[in-house]
């Protein structure tokens, strides 16, 4: 990513407000790692040391999610010695937002200096071998939303017109996450994530289609954020919490509460993995010890 400021008055306004709020707290707005915290994991941001919390509503231009379980705050602090900026909750295409709105928060975090992005989500299993409660490392994705945040004129300060997506999810970060999981005794599956528009859950026929296309898990987020991050040259690590079997793979009807309950049950394991990854990114010992809301997002 170019270090030239993006040609966006809206980004400038958001960054100025964030830096001002952080400065009033006597902290530093710089960040090395950006965290997009999906369902069930938002509370991780509350554990950041020296955290400064800024509600999205106080950041000019920042879209605000109306989805239950998404706190809607930007949090800047330190975890495992790594300077982090975290989004507690995200907005989605299905809320009526344009793709550029969906990735606006991510682009703000990148402008704060983050060069590594950890994106998390809750997802349904289209692969019958995946079970609710599994953590799945995202090896690659299918963008089936029919949308992209790169549509329209390109801002060369954000990234190139035609970004390469051969390694959308960084191989070194994936290897690091596997090593952390092994040291912590955490089972970590891997697979392809398919991003769909939502908000309805998939039909059994759509799940069968996902299987033929090679998707292991399905959800309603992540792919646009990953595209925007790679456009900017940032490295991406993606992890899904499998919260339910896809339609037709179990007799149980899909329900919002099931997603939340499973995400909550897996939270401690997910947080332990995330902390271990951050510790390793910061140069700490991988085996340094492990501790240990609502829609698919």
What CA–CA distance (Å, rounded) separates 276 from 255?
A: 31
* pLDDT in the model for residue 255: 72
* pLDDT band per the 50, 70, 90 thresholds, residue 1: very low
Closest CA to 224 of 92, 126, 94: 92
**Residue 39 confidence class, pLDDT cut points 50, 70, 90:** confident
**pLDDT bucket at 48, cuts 50 / 70 / 90:** very high
User: 151-179: per-residue pLDDT in tens?
Assistant: 999 999 999 999 999 999 999 999 999 99
> Does 1 reside within a domain?
no
* 31 located within any domain: yes
The answer on pLDDT for 94 being more than 70 is yes
CATH code for position 136? 3.40.50.1580
| 140 in any annotated domain | yes
pLDDT digits 0-9 by tens, 26-38: 988 999 999 999 8
Query: For residues 232 and 2, is the Cβ–Cβ distance under 8 A?
Result: no
Of the pLDDT bands very low, low, confident and very high (cuts 50, 70, 90), residue 70 is low
Answer yes or no: is 291 within a domain. Answer: no
How many structural domains are present in the chain? Answer: 1
Q: 293 lies in a domain?
A: no
Confidence of residue 284 (pLDDT cuts 50, 70, 90): low
* CA 142/CA 210 separation, integer angstroms: 9
Q: At 292, list the tokens.
A: 């240990």
Residue 287 lies in a domain: no
Indicate the pairing of strand 49-55 with strand 73-79. antiparallel
Phi/psi at 34 (5° precision): -105, 135
Name beta bridge partners: 33.
84, 116
C-beta atoms surrounding 146 within 10 Å: 9
Instruction: State residue 286's pLDDT score.
Output: 57
Say which residue, 23 or 259, is predicted with more confidence: 23
pLDDT reported for residue 266: 86
Question: What confidence category does residue 18 fall into, taking pLDDT thresholds of 50, 70 and 90?
Answer: very high
- pLDDT band (50, 70, 90) for residue 89: confident
Q: What is the pLDDT of residue 41?
A: 85
69 pLDDT higher than 50: yes
- Provide the domain limits for residue 274: 9-281
Whether 256 has a pLDDT exceeding 80, the answer reads no
Weakest-pLDDT range from 60-64, 81-85, 211-215? 60-64
Question: pLDDT tens, 109-152?
Answer: 999 999 999 999 999 999 999 999 999 999 999 999 999 999 99
Strands 33-37 and 49-55: unpaired
Residue 225: pLDDT over 80: yes
Backbone angles phi, psi at 131, to 5 degrees: -120, 150
Q: Kindly state whether residue 91 falls inside one of the protein's structural domains.
A: yes
> Whose CA is closest to 196, among 232, 246, 154?
246
- Main-chain dihedrals φ then ψ at residue 190, nearest 5 degrees: -145, 155
Q: Would 294 be classed as within a structural domain?
A: no
Residue-averaged pLDDT of the chain = 90
Q: pLDDT exceeding 90 applies to what percent of the chain?
A: 77
Residue 251 pLDDT level (bands cut at 50, 70, 90): confident
Angle, nearest 10°, between helix axes 223-231 and 104-111?
30
pLDDT exceeds cutoff 80 at 247: yes
């Amino acid at each position: 990513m170019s270090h030239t400021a993006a040609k966006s008055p809206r980004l400038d306004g958001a960054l100025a407000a964030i830096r001002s709020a952080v400065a009033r707290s006597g902290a530093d707005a710089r960040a090395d790692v950006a965290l997009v915290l999906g369902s069930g994991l938002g509370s991780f941001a509350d554990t950041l040391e020296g955290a400064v919390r800024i509600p999205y509503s106080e950041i000019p231009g920042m879209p605000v999610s109306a989805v239950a379980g998404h706190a809607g705050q930007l949090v800047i602090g330190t975890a495992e010695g790594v300077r982090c900026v975290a989004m507690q909750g995200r907005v989605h295409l299905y809320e009526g937002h344009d793709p550029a709105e969906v990735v606006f928060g991510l682009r703000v975090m990148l402008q704060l200096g983050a060069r590594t992005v950890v994106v998390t989500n809750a997802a349904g299993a289209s692969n019958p071998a995946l079970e609710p409660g599994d953590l799945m490392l995202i090896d690659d994705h299918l963008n089936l939303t029919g949308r992209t945040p790169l549509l329209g004129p390109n801002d060369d300060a954000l990234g190139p017109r035609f970004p390469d997506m051969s390694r959308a999810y960084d191989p070194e970060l994936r290897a690091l996450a596997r090593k952390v999981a092994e040291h912590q005794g955490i089972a970590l599956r891997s697979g392809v994530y398919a991003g769909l528009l939502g908000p309805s859950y998939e039909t059994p026929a759509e799940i069968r289609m996902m299987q033929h296309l090679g998707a292991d898990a399905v959800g309603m987020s992540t792919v646009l954020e990953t595209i925007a991050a790679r456009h900017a040259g940032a490295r991406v690590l993606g992890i899904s919490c499998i919260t339910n079997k896809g339609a037709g793979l179990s007799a149980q009807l899909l329900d919002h509460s099931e997603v939340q309950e499973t995400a909550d049950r897996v939270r401690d394991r997910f947080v332990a993995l995330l902390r271990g990854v951050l510790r390793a990114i910061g140069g700490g010992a991988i085996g340094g010890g492990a501790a240990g809301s609502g829609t698919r997002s």
